[in-house]
Amino acid sequence: METMHGVPFESFDRIRFGLIGAGSRGRMLLHELLACEGIDVVALADASTESLQQAAAMVTAAGKPAPALHPGADGWSDLLQHELDLVYVATPWDTHTRFAVEAMRAGAHVGVEVPAAVTLEECWDLVHTSEQTRRHCVMLENCCYDYWEMIVLRMAQAGMFGILTHAECAYIHDLREMLLSDVSEGLWRRQPHITRDSNHYPTHGLGPVAQILGIGSDDAFDCLVSMSSLPASLAEYRDAHLPQDDPKRREIYVAGDMNTSLIRTRLGRTIVLQHSVVTPRPYDRNFLISGTRGTFRDLPPRLYLDGLTKHEEWMPLEPIRETWEHPLWKQFGEQARKSGGHGGMDFIMNYRLVQLLHEGCVPDSDVYDAAEWSAPGPLSEQSILQGFSVLPFPDFRRNMR
């Protein structure tokens, strides 16, 4: 099968758009898209009529024609009967692959929320379908478009860190209250903690690191090993906050409080990838890039460049901003931050994808990236089940670059 790597979008004057999943995340994405030029919102689908009505009101409030609404569990299938150029999938994780595959088969390019897949079989389904249909499947990894990640990408590509040797990344976010709620993501996002001990959500940390290391072009993931701590925090929090008769108190959580996976690349680089959403600590993605000439670490952003920084001291960041700030943030940073989507990266991500579709350019990430960045989820589970074994990383590109 012919590769989709490096294949450009066809150029669109106007983009006929459909959204599967009009819940809170779907409406956030819709909000950002409505600020972009050349988007025609054709149809929306969601199991909830109330969510659909809220999303439709956003469209008409933006001065656009009312979209077709497709409620119910099978509304997504009805949505795909429309002629659409781009479909976003913003539904629970275990439905992402199915909806993305069917949207590509219906002739649309797809933007799928993270993770794009939760099993290795689903990763391969996405790859095979994209290749067969010649439709792109772009995972909507907004962290690739965050302010400092884009600066560090430009610096790394210019050789400012020398030979890159090591990276660290994570998704650390205290979600205990949300996981135990009876609304929105609380209805489904706790289930993996009952059934799987793994890195449930690898892509926010891994996506930016993979792009900076040139995974898919200059390098590739080679192998992974994973282990988890004992599970304790979610059950303790639940027992302290929920009534004695709440059925959640009978649940047994198998996912460890902290999962740590180690990835080695074919060039010999190492990546520490962590996941924790049940421990009481501030949000962090542990973003670190290290090479022979310097190191960057985020939250808060810190930079050390050999020969330009006093020994054992981080250097001032303002000169770095002035020199290396990404053009998209220079042009749209104020608008992006006012938009409110995760500090502005949601707007930059959506604007960039729309821009590439209009101009007929190659997407910043493709289906192989979606599969590679999602695969540590099931791989980490397998590694733990096999006694913390080192597992080979699937070659989704099949050396077709």
Parts of the chain belonging to CATH 3.30.360.10: 144-329+366-392
Distances (CA, A) of 232 to 144, 186, 247, 278: 32, 19, 18, 9
In this structure, the number of other CB atoms found within 10 A of the CB of residue 13 comes to 6
How far apart CA 97 and CA 75 sit, in angstroms, is 16
Q: Residues 215-254, buried b or exposed e (16+ Cβ, 10 A)?
A: bbeebbbbbbbbbbeebebbbebbeeeeeeeeebeeeebe
In this structure, the number of other CB atoms found within 10 A of the CB of residue 311 comes to 6
> Is the distance from CB of 96 to CB of 129 less than 8 angstroms?
no
3-state secondary structure of 219: strand
> Is the distance from CB of 340 to CB of 182 less than 8 angstroms?
no
If you search the block for the tokens 């972009």, which residue do you land on?
A: 36
How far apart CA 236 and CA 253 sit, in angstroms, is 11
Please provide the distance, in angstroms rounded to a whole number, between the alpha carbons at the two ends of the chain: 12
If you search the block for the tokens 């000169």, which residue do you land on?
A: 319
One-letter identity of residue 12: F
Parts of the chain belonging to CATH 3.40.50.720: 15-140
CA dihedral 54→56→60→61, nearest 10 degrees, is: 20
The Cα angle at residue 262 between residues 171 and 147, in degrees rounded to 5: 40
One-letter identity of residue 45: A
How far apart CA 113 and CA 19 sit, in angstroms, is 11
Query: Regarding beta strands 164-172 and 86-89, do their DSSP bridges make them parallel or antiparallel, or are they unpaired?
Result: unpaired
Sheet of strand 68-71: strand arrangement: 68-71, 39-46, 15-20, 86-89, 109-112, 137-139
The architecture of the domain spanning 15-140 is 3-Layer(aba) Sandwich (3.40)
**pTM for the model:** 0.97
3-state secondary structure of 5: coil
Sign of CA dihedral 346, 169, 237, 228: positive
What local confidence, expressed as pLDDT, does residue 399 receive?
76
Q: Which CATH number applies to 144-329+366-392: 3.90.1150.10, 3.30.360.10, 1.10.540.10, 3.90.230.10?
A: 3.30.360.10
What local confidence, expressed as pLDDT, does residue 401 receive?
45
Name which of 31, 262, 303, 63 is nearest 161 in CA terms.
303
DSSP letters for 17-37: EEEE--SHHHHHHHHHHTTST
Burial class of residue 128 in the structure, from the number of CB atoms within 10 Å of its CB (0-12 exposed, 13-18 middle, 19+ buried): middle
Distances (CA, A) of 93 to 60, 77, 366, 376: 29, 18, 19, 15
Q: What is the pLDDT along the chain (401 residues), one digit of tens a residue?
A: 899 999 999 999 999 999 999 999 999 999 999 999 999 999 999 999 999 999 999 999 999 999 999 999 999 999 999 999 999 999 999 999 999 999 999 999 999 999 999 999 999 999 999 999 999 999 999 999 999 999 999 999 999 999 999 999 999 999 999 999 999 999 999 999 999 999 999 999 999 999 999 999 999 999 999 999 999 999 999 999 999 999 999 999 999 999 999 999 999 999 999 999 999 999 999 999 999 999 999 999 999 999 998 889 999 999 999 999 999 999 999 999 998 789 999 999 999 999 999 999 999 999 999 999 999 999 999 999 999 999 999 999 997 54
